[in-house]
Amino acid sequence: MIEVEHICLSFGERKILEDVNLTVYDGETMVILGASGSGKSTLLKLIIGLLKPDSGSIKVNGKEISSLTEREMNEERRRMGMVFQYSALFDSMNVKENVAFGLRQHTDLSEEEIENILRHDEELARPTGEKVGFIRHRNELAWKYKNYILSTVKGDFKGMKIVTDSANGAASGFLPDILRELGAEITALYCEPNGVNINKDCGSTHMETLQKMVVEMGADCGIANDGDADRCLFVDEQGDIMDGDHIMVINALRMKKEGRLNANMVVGTVMSNLGFGKALAEHGCRTVATNVGDRYVLEEMKAHGYSLGGEQSGHIIFPEFNTTGDGLITAMQTLMVLRDHDGPLSELNHLMTTYPQLLKNVRVYSKNGWEENEQIRAAIAAAKDELGNDGRILVRASGTEPLIRVMGEGSDKDRLERVIDDIVSVVEQELGEE
């Protein structure tokens, strides 16, 4: 039974809920209707203890949840379920693995018991390949997109030798053909999608084959997309990967020279390498960091009219051509920089020095309030003081797992590892699982 009595909640001066009363009896199904922003999700978050009311009472099975400790609340949450409005699954896992993860984390069930719960899953016949859904070919749309990509290129790529990896995905029928039409000599890898081989040991997340082929064939560069072709990474002629930070640096310098880099500003994220900002600063450019996610990058760009932004992963936005990350646009713009450069891609790649980066995850019993923990704050401050201008520390909570992520960069790898270990030790002491 759920009893909500006289609940009030405000965010600043804005009242979200005022004197809300609600009773849900065992076995009863209740629907709460309201306009967007009226407080429906907020009420649910109060009921499961993710938020605390300004006033009023919430009882679940007779227990006043606002007075429970985080650990007591976690016990109560074992009998609760919430389906998120947006995807909150681990995209690296299938459905069975996602369900099993929750059972492992929040129950005392044995592996055998978990397998018994999920066993029926194995009995389901799963379609594969051509039996999964259906494909509609809209040749006129493909033709329009291809011609648009071609329109963003000034000149051609004659004389360039390029290896492409389309990840058996969306770029398969576009990137190799477009580059051939522009005069480049192309070796195309992983451009035969069958519905199940997308991103499988290929593309921008698995670049080993591309690196090897570029070197073996003496190519000028390699280009890798991901399955939906919104990412683009490069490989230089020496087989070294050129990630999104490096790609943005060389494009920013070209755009600055041409007067196309608004305010000489490039938008990155908090996960952009420390060397990214330093390289751009050396050439009179500025950077601003957003939260992780290209949506935040785009918001910052739109708010100020900036003309280049993106992520280390290769999601790069050129609003002059598109309002979202487009791996083919990124490929064309970067190839023009290489074409007009009097030297190999490795020279451009070395315009930015990538600082050693270290990430460690700490499993915790609760992420709530970690930012206000005085011991953790002191450990972070001490680490920042020791690294000074030669490094940085970023500590944040995972959005999907009970983890605190401790990331650091610095010119001295040994010192970096030591200060990160110091922070990890304090987080484990304060919030670590027993």
Is the confidence at residue 10, as pLDDT, over 70?
yes
Q: How far is CA 192 from CA 152, 173, 206, 260, in A?
A: 26, 9, 16, 37
Is the confidence at residue 326, as pLDDT, over 60?
yes
Both structure tokens of 275: 């060397």
Asked if residue 48 lies in contact with residue 42, where contact means CB atoms within 8 angstroms, the answer is no
Question: Mean pLDDT lowest for which of 50-54, 203-207, 335-339?
Answer: 50-54
- Contact residues for 6 (Cβ-Cβ < 8 A; gap 6+): 19, 20, 21, 55, 56, 57
Give the residue among 278, 272, 266, 320 at the shortest CA–CA distance from 293: 272
Query: What are the two backbone dihedrals, phi and then psi, of residue 52, each rounded to the nearest 5 degrees?
Result: -115, 140
d(CA 315, CA 329): 11
Per-residue pLDDT, 235: 98
Per-residue pLDDT, 86: 55
Per-residue pLDDT, 28: 81
Structure-model confidence comparison of residues 223 and 113, the more confident one: 223
d(CA 91, CA 303): 31
Provide the 3-class DSSP secondary structure of residue 227.
coil
Per-residue pLDDT, 170: 92
Asked if residue 187 lies in contact with residue 179, where contact means CB atoms within 8 angstroms, the answer is no
d(CA 99, CA 111): 13
Per-residue pLDDT, 127: 66
CA of residue 141 relative to chain centroid, distance:
29
Question: Mean pLDDT lowest for which of 19-33, 70-84, 123-137, 365-379?
Answer: 123-137
Per-residue pLDDT, 366: 83
Q: Per-residue confidence at 318, pLDDT binned at 50, 70, 90?
A: very high
Per-residue pLDDT, 82: 72
Q: Which amino acid is at 84?
A: F
Per-residue pLDDT, 129: 62
Per-residue pLDDT, 285: 97
Is the confidence at residue 274, as pLDDT, over 80?
yes
Q: Per-residue confidence at 353, pLDDT binned at 50, 70, 90?
A: very high
Query: What are the two backbone dihedrals, phi and then psi, of residue 312, each rounded to the nearest 5 degrees?
Result: -60, -30
Q: How many CA atoms lie within 13 A of 360 on its CB side?
A: 17
Asked if residue 294 lies in contact with residue 248, where contact means CB atoms within 8 angstroms, the answer is no
Question: Mean pLDDT lowest for which of 82-91, 173-182, 334-343?
Answer: 82-91
Percent of the chain with pLDDT over 90: 56
Percent of the chain with pLDDT over 70: 93
d(CA 136, CA 8): 51
Query: What are the two backbone dihedrals, phi and then psi, of residue 367, each rounded to the nearest 5 degrees?
Result: -95, -10
Per-residue pLDDT, 210: 97
| Mean pLDDT estimate for the chain | 89
Is the confidence at residue 67, as pLDDT, over 60?
yes
Both structure tokens of 243: 């990630």
Mean pLDDT is highest, among 101-105, 329-333, 351-355, 398-402, for 329-333
Q: What is the DSSP letter of 355?
A: P
Is the confidence at residue 96, as pLDDT, over 70?
yes
Per-residue pLDDT, 49: 82
- Contact residues for 84 (Cβ-Cβ < 8 A; gap 6+): none
Q: Per-residue confidence at 328, pLDDT binned at 50, 70, 90?
A: very high
The beta strand positions in 217-295, using DSSP E, are 221-225, 232-235, 241-242, 265-269, 286-290
Task: Show the domains of the chain with their CATH numbers.
Answer: 2-77 (3.40.50.300), 139-349 (3.40.120.10), 357-431 (3.30.310.50)
User: Each residue of 108-142: pLDDT tens digit?
Assistant: 777 777 777 776 555 556 666 666 666 677 788 89
Q: Per-residue confidence at 100, pLDDT binned at 50, 70, 90?
A: confident
Per-residue pLDDT, 159: 96
Mean pLDDT (whole number) for 194-213 = 93
User: Each residue of 25-65: pLDDT tens digit?
Assistant: 887 888 888 877 788 888 888 888 888 888 999 998 888 88
Asked if residue 410 lies in contact with residue 391, where contact means CB atoms within 8 angstroms, the answer is yes
The structure's pTM equals: 0.65
Q: List residues bridging with 232 in a β-sheet.
A: 225
Structure-model confidence comparison of residues 279 and 15, the more confident one: 279
